[in-house]
Amino acid sequence: MTKQHTRERHPVVESFLYEVTSYIRAREWHRDIRDELSDHLEDSADEAQSNDSSLSRDEAYRLAVAQMGAASEVGKRFDRIHRPRTDWVLLGLLGLLLGASFLLMYSMDRTLMIRSSVYPFDLFEKKLVYSGVGLLLLLAIRLFDYRKLLAYSNWIYGFTLVMMLITLSTGRYVNGSRHDINLFGIQVDVLNISPYALIVSLCGVLILRASDTTWWKMWLIYVIPPLVFYAIEPYRPMLLFYFLAALVLFLVTYKSWVLRIGVPLLHLGALVVFAMNHHYWDMRIKSFFDPGSDPNGIGYMAIQTLKTLREAGWFGQGIGQSNMTVPNLYSDMMFTYIVFTFGWAGGVALVWVVAAFLLRIVQASSRVLDPYGKQLIIGLSVLLGMQFIWSIGMAVGLLPIISVQLPLVANGGSSQLTCLALLGLIMSIYRRKDMIRSHRQQSMHPARK
């Protein structure tokens, strides 16, 4: 255990410690490394004087410092241990997904099926612009110390609810629903972005309050209000995704087996009741189980999607070929367009990349010591993973068709920026995985005023 350093260090020791830490880029560790080395030097000086009583304290310190070796070498060793980390594999997989999205947007422009009436450029250029801005955002957030968010968890929660309320009251109608607002001339899809902010806040409050607040109080305060807001616009798929992400976080946080059975049943029951009492979800479920009952209505998209997939073949129809029978190919039904264009070979390849991408994020959570960072990765990866899984699953007839885009690949401005910002936060956590102490380490290094 580290000693409390209430007295000034010897000048020789202080100079050595200053030089050592000048080689260490992880500033978060400077104080702890100085304290550890100072304790070691104190012990070495004590041992030197016990072995040779003729040594003065000054000489004992100088001998202890000399035995440590060159400060530059010591500092470089610590820097290698505690240096910021970059997950190059995750970045490579992200590059593959973005590359696929550029190719798909180019192919869609070739078909001349759709041109944006809002932006003075086509889908490919729009994708390039938003991806470029999003990557800059990713790099900036990667350098940001995510732990600073913890203290503002309740503020993030409150602000997100206020923005949702404003959107539901005054937002622009799109497809019969209010879900975005105009901020400084930019249309922001608040209801699609909100689950990410809500999960960030939920991770923080679970870390801060779970030890002294019962699970049902947390559930009533931080899960029910957002669900009520989402239910006002019942077609929003983010209601389902936030519900599932919150469930996973509660199961990870509260270890009781009673809760591990009761909480899922509570969530499942609420979802069933909600689905049965809202026309949109009721229609989607009926079209999933029996699309032929209304082939020109609620079953049309499911029938046309499966027909397109059957006709795609192993290598597809090629870039620039038009398919007008399936609506929303550039957004909700993007995976259908991928199979139509590149065949099942291209679809399977994309599924493998997505699976590797999600697995890499999950693996990152197991390597992070900080509980808050681990919670963030788990919660955000559930949100992101559910969108990937549902978008692909509904395209091949395994899940009901709802309004959900294929993240990072489908057309969309707000969603692209949000996903890249989310990955920036995950990379910020991974970057500091060897720079931030676990609870066990924190107990060994008590906080000092």
Verify that 377 and 272 share a domain, yes or no.
Answer: yes
- Give pLDDT tens digits for 39-84: 888 888 888 888 888 888 888 888 888 888 888 888 888 877 777 7
- Residue 379: name the closest of 258, 253, 269, 257 by CA: 253
Residues 324-333: what's their mean pLDDT? 66
Q: Cα dist. 445→9, 29, 31, 38, 404 in Å?
A: 18, 11, 10, 14, 46
- Give pLDDT tens digits for 244-300: 888 888 888 877 666 666 666 666 666 555 555 555 666 666 666 666 666 666 666
- Residue 266: name the closest of 283, 284, 237, 246 by CA: 246
**Within 10 A of 412 (CB to CB), how many other CB atoms are there?**
22
Q: In the predicted model, is pLDDT for residue 383 greater than 80?
A: yes
Identify whether 446 is part of a domain: no
Verify that 326 and 392 share a domain, yes or no.
Answer: yes
Verify that 96 and 67 share a domain, yes or no.
Answer: no
Identify whether 5 is part of a domain: no
CB 204 within 8 A of CB 156: yes
Among candidate residues 83, 110, 131, the one where a domain is terminated:
83
Amino acid identity, position 165: L
Identify whether 449 is part of a domain: no
At residue 385, the pLDDT reads 92
CB 156 within 8 A of CB 200: yes
Verify that 255 and 162 share a domain, yes or no.
Answer: yes
- Give pLDDT tens digits for 145-155: 888 899 999 99
Strand order through the sheet with 186-188: 172-174, 177-183, 186-188
Identify whether 423 is part of a domain: yes
The token pair that represents 301 in the structure block: 């998209």
Task: Between 75 and 110, name the one with better pLDDT.
Answer: 75
Verify that 204 and 288 share a domain, yes or no.
Answer: yes
- The pairs formed by 388-391 with CB atoms below 8 angstroms and a separation of 24 or more are 388/354, 388/358, 390/237, 390/241, 391/332, 391/334, 391/335
Among candidate residues 24, 59, 83, the one where a domain is terminated:
83
Among candidate residues 83, 114, 129, the one where a domain is terminated:
83
Verify that 69 and 96 share a domain, yes or no.
Answer: no
Instruction: Supply the range of the domain harboring residue 51.
Output: 11-83
At residue 135, the pLDDT reads 93
- Residue 149: name the closest of 379, 370, 372 by CA: 372
Q: What is the pTM of this model?
A: 0.77
Verify that 262 and 394 share a domain, yes or no.
Answer: yes
CB 397 within 8 A of CB 387: no
Q: What is the number of alpha carbons within 13 Å of residue 119 lying toward its C-beta?
A: 17
186's enclosing H/E stretch is strand 186-188
Q: In the predicted model, is pLDDT for residue 447 greater than 50?
A: no
Verify that 65 and 134 share a domain, yes or no.
Answer: no
Count of domains forming the chain: 2
Q: CA-to-CA distance for 60 and 49, rounded, in angstroms?
A: 6
Verify that 135 and 281 share a domain, yes or no.
Answer: yes
DSSP secondary structure letter of residue 121: S
Verify that 125 and 48 share a domain, yes or no.
Answer: no
At residue 274, the pLDDT reads 57
Identify whether 437 is part of a domain: no
- Report the sign of the C-alpha dihedral through residues 12, 18, 23, 27, in that order: positive
First to last CA, the chain: 17
Verify that 202 and 240 share a domain, yes or no.
Answer: yes
The token pair that represents 366 in the structure block: 């197991």
- Residue 79: name the closest of 13, 15, 19 by CA: 19
Q: CA-to-CA distance for 318 and 342, rounded, in angstroms?
A: 6
At residue 446, the pLDDT reads 34
At residue 139, the pLDDT reads 92
At residue 95, the pLDDT reads 93
User: Which of 16-30, 227-241, 325-339 has the highest mean predicted lDDT (pLDDT)?
Assistant: 16-30
Question: Would you give the distance in Å from CA 92 to the centre of its chain?
Answer: 17
Verify that 17 and 134 share a domain, yes or no.
Answer: no
188 DSSP β-pair partners: 181
289-298, 347-356, 377-386: least confident range:
289-298
Q: CA-to-CA distance for 184 and 69, rounded, in angstroms?
A: 58
